[in-house]
Homo-oligomer: A and B are copies of this chain.
Amino acid sequence: MGKPLILVTNDDGITAPGLRMLVSIMKTIGEVVVVAPDSPQSGMGHAITLDSTLYSKKLTIDLDSEGIDEYSCSGTPADCVKLALQELLPKKPDICVSGINHGSNSSINVIYSGTMSAAIEAGIEGIPAIGFSLCDYTWEADFSQAKDFIFTIVTEALKNGIPKGTVLNVNIPKLKKNKLKGIKICRQAKANWKEKFDKRTNPMGKVYYWLTGEFELLDKGEDTDEWALANGYISVVPTHFDLTAHHVISELNTWNL
């Protein structure tokens, strides 16, 4: 088997340091094509562009990307994956990796995550896919400590195959390399955002809001991603896109419908 074809995308945009780091790791594993948003798309969830047009541009971001095809796309992360698979890639990729996101996508954040929606979109299309996120929101975040772990996760995924209908959600704690304890397979912790809206008045006298909030962990389990991250481990949650709550079907059948 030749070198695997790896599609790299993200939601922070094609110039984000997290994506550049992921590209540099993937170059050591296979042939890389980048298709990523031309502007930040955080919090886009699984949005797709239905009522407007998509633009895409072939470009070179840094000298380091020599020999790599890179495309920016005007759409959402899910759009990037759709466009990559249908129009831009020479063939079906062997794996799609998304990230490294600037900020956590653990627990309930997976629902809002553009990073994970790109990976899930690839999963829906039958491509093995992994989303990577670092628990550090800053643009200057240090992504280097997780290099070896990311290499290992991707090569193991290529070797073993990711079970069908499943996408991996990988989160990395903000720790120096010698503090990282290893990798744990986890479930998604129950959690919530306690929203607060910052209500302001614009210069024209009109009221507007900024969405802010505090993360609230509602789960004491030691098998969760939040527990792993708080205890120095990289969390890997197998995530699927069959949203059926199968255990509830029999209860609903007792309703008088």
Contact = CB atoms under 8 A, between A and B. Distances in A.
Given A45-B46, A49-B211, A55-B206, A124 B111 contact: yes
A40 interface: yes
A232 interface: no
Contacts of A202: 53
B56 A209 contact: yes
A244 B153 CA distance: 18
Chain A: interface residue count, which band?
35 or more
Interface in A85-107: 85-87
A50 interface: yes
Contact of A156 (B110, B182, B207, B257): B257
Contact of A241 (B50, B87, B111, B125): B111
What is the oligomeric copy number?
2
Interface string A218-248: 0000000000000000001111111111101
Contacts of A242: 187-188, 190
Interface string A29-43: 000000000001011
Contact of A49 (B43, B156, B239): B43
A163 interface: yes
Contacts of A153: 257
A50 B42 contact: yes
Given A110-B243, A111-B46, A163-B248, A211 B54 contact: yes
Interface stretch (A61-69, A76-84, A171-179): A76-84
A53 B248 CA distance: 38
A44 B42 contact: no
Nearest to A73: B209
Given A43-B49, A112-B46, A240 B245 contact: yes
Interface stretch (A1-9, A14-22, A139-147, A193-201): A193-201
Given A197-B86, A211-B48, A252 B236 contact: yes
A47 interface: yes
Given A108-B124, A111-B241, A237-B244, 8 more contacts: A43-B49, A45-B117, A53-B209, A55-B208, A83-B209, A163-B245, A185-B249, A240-B245
For the complex of A and B, the 3 pairs showing the least CB-CB separation, nearest first, are A45-B46, A45-B45, A238-B248
22 contacts: A42-B51, A50-B211, A54-B210, A54-B211, A55-B206, A56-B209, A78-B112, A79-B211, A82-B197, A83-B197, A83-B209, A86-B195, A86-B196, A87-B199, A87-B209, A111-B241, A153-B257, A165-B245, A190-B242, A237-B243, A238-B245, A238-B248
